[in-house]
Amino acid sequence: DGGITQSPKYLFRKEGQNVTLSCEQNLNHDAMYWYRQDPGQGLRLIYYSQIVNDFQKGDIAEGYSVSREKKESFPLTVTSAQKNPTAFYLCASSIQEDRGPMGTGELFFGEGSRLTVL
Partner 1 sequence: GNSVTQMEGPVTLSEEAFLTINCTYTATGYPSLFWYVQYPGEGLQLLLKATKADDKGSNKGFEATYRKETTSFHLEKGSVQVSDSAVYFCALSGRSSNYKLTFGKGTLLTVNP
Nearer to partner 1, 85 or 110 (CB): 110
In the complex, least distance from residue 56 CB atom to partner 1, rounded to whole angstroms: 9
- Under 8 Å between Cβ of 91 and 109: yes
Specify whether the CB–CB gap between 67 and 20 falls below 8 A.
no
Footprint of partner 1 (CB under 8 A) = 4, 6, 33, 40-43, 45, 48, 58, 90, 92, 99-101, 103-112
Q: Which CB atom, from 19 or from 35, has the smaller least distance to partner 1?
A: 35
* Residue 31 beta carbon to partner 1: minimum distance, rounded to whole angstroms: 9
Q: Which is nearer to partner 1, 17 or 111 (CB)?
A: 111
Q: Which is nearer to partner 1, 16 or 100 (CB)?
A: 100
Residue type, 10: Y
We find the least distance from the C-beta atom of residue 117 to partner 1, in angstroms, to be 19
